[in-house]
Amino acid sequence: MKKSFLFVLLVIVSLLGADITVEYKSSLTPEVIRTIEIDSTDYFNVYELNKTFKANISDDLLDQRLNVNIYSEQLIFLMDSSLLQYGSDYFNMTYNIIQQDGKYFLPVVFLTDLLPQIFSNLISWEKNKLITKTPTDNSIKRIVLDPGHGGKDPGAVGYSKKHFEKEVVLELALKLKKKLEQQLDVVVLLSRDKDEFISLQQRTKFANENNADLFISLHCNAHRNSKINGIEVYYLSTAKTDEARAVEAMENQVVYEYEGGQEAVRKYDDLAFILADMAQSEHLEESYNLGANLQTALVSATEAYNRGVKQANFYVLRGAFMPSVLLEFGFISNKDEEKKLISSSYQEKLIDSVFIGIRDFKMKYDQMQ
């Protein structure tokens, strides 16, 4: 009795103030969870779980709870309480969760005791270390750039009638791929890297089959009125304005003209649309955020007229099961914008802005995974 008490005391003393090592069963380098002492108890910042277990953490101030998604399971911590809910079970961490300067701290006992208990088949506490399998990495690693149109489909025709959308967006895509791969830790795949016709369905199929984490379709706009100019970004939705409907009709026209007319349209519609739309709506908020990042960066770098972040129902975005946006870099039907769109200095501005937009989105997105 006395012996075991001493042993427990020794373990507690040896643990106090010590950081916690997380060892992975794979070859991944071990990580360390830093601990800090609050009111004589060892705590750790809950965001350390993001680093070590790729946990997704969000607070819900309305319901006074902190949600931690770890190994696809949801743990709910009740604020100002030592209780944690998992499914219909409650676990007691002995010490309350602490909120300080917008950060949340959990008692270390959660790591040493409760995590191995809740995830007994995935996590164990051995020799003062947490041993676990490699967490799944949901960060953005693969990006599909989709230069619109191509081959027999020229896309929008320039004011001069000498330049076509399909050429401008391919140039932009090739340059953007180079920059993204050089400066971000990502692989960039192009739905086309030469002047060839690719159906809208093939484009998203390509992204889905390659497990892309982002899908970005690149376009230039056109309007009957050559005065119209500016940059706009679209993300998928069924709700839309009349103007968005016009652009949508133009970009979707390829289905009528080059992909078998009415029959092909019917194929995209109905059930396929509903299914794709449901899958996409999962990423609606992310797609919007990505679109907003891109639009802000593009407009501030180019000083082009800001036509906003819009919702539309593009066929090309429909089939993508990942955050996806469609960029309209400007109106090639406008004399000035056509000149800009084909100039390498302006293209550089566009590329730098898209790079910044993607980089910032990736930074936030990766942290949330």
Q: Which residues bind Zn ion (CB under 5 A)?
A: 148, 155, 219, 251
Q: What does the alpha-carbon distance between residue 127 and residue 153 come to, in Å, rounded to a whole number?
A: 65
Residue 107 or 291: the one with the smaller Cβ distance to Zn ion is: 291
| Helix or strand (DSSP H, E) at 266 | helix 261-268
Residue 95 or 164: the one with the smaller Cβ distance to Zn ion is: 164
Residue 57 or 170: the one with the smaller Cβ distance to Zn ion is: 170
Cα 228 vs. chain centroid, distance in angstroms?
Answer: 32
In the complex, minimum distance from the CB of residue 153 to Zn ion, in angstroms, rounded to a whole number: 9
Q: What does the alpha-carbon distance between residue 291 and residue 298 come to, in Å, rounded to a whole number?
A: 10
* 19, two tokens: 């950081």
Residue 150 or 323: the one with the smaller Cβ distance to Zn ion is: 150
In the complex, minimum distance from the CB of residue 333 to Zn ion, in angstroms, rounded to a whole number: 12
In the complex, minimum distance from the CB of residue 55 to Zn ion, in angstroms, rounded to a whole number: 40
In the complex, minimum distance from the CB of residue 219 to Zn ion, in angstroms, rounded to a whole number: 3
Residue 155 or 357: the one with the smaller Cβ distance to Zn ion is: 155
Q: Are 176 and 354 in contact (CB under 8 A)?
A: yes
Q: What does the alpha-carbon distance between residue 318 and residue 205 come to, in Å, rounded to a whole number?
A: 11
In the complex, minimum distance from the CB of residue 316 to Zn ion, in angstroms, rounded to a whole number: 9
* Opening angle at CA 84, ends 79 and 88, nearest 5: 125
Residue 108 or 169: the one with the smaller Cβ distance to Zn ion is: 169
Q: What does the alpha-carbon distance between residue 317 and residue 287 come to, in Å, rounded to a whole number?
A: 10
Residue 140 or 247: the one with the smaller Cβ distance to Zn ion is: 247
Q: Are 180 and 355 in contact (CB under 8 A)?
A: yes
Q: What does the alpha-carbon distance between residue 357 and residue 252 come to, in Å, rounded to a whole number?
A: 26
In the complex, minimum distance from the CB of residue 233 to Zn ion, in angstroms, rounded to a whole number: 13
Residue 97 or 156: the one with the smaller Cβ distance to Zn ion is: 156
Q: What does the alpha-carbon distance between residue 145 and residue 203 come to, in Å, rounded to a whole number?
A: 10
In the complex, minimum distance from the CB of residue 168 to Zn ion, in angstroms, rounded to a whole number: 10
What does 199-255 look like in DSSP terms, one character per residue?
-HHHHHHHHHHTT-SEEEEEEEE--SSTT---EEEEEE-S---HHHHHHHHHHHHHH
Name the 3-class secondary structure at 113: helix
In the complex, minimum distance from the CB of residue 149 to Zn ion, in angstroms, rounded to a whole number: 6
Q: What does the alpha-carbon distance between residue 73 and residue 350 come to, in Å, rounded to a whole number?
A: 41
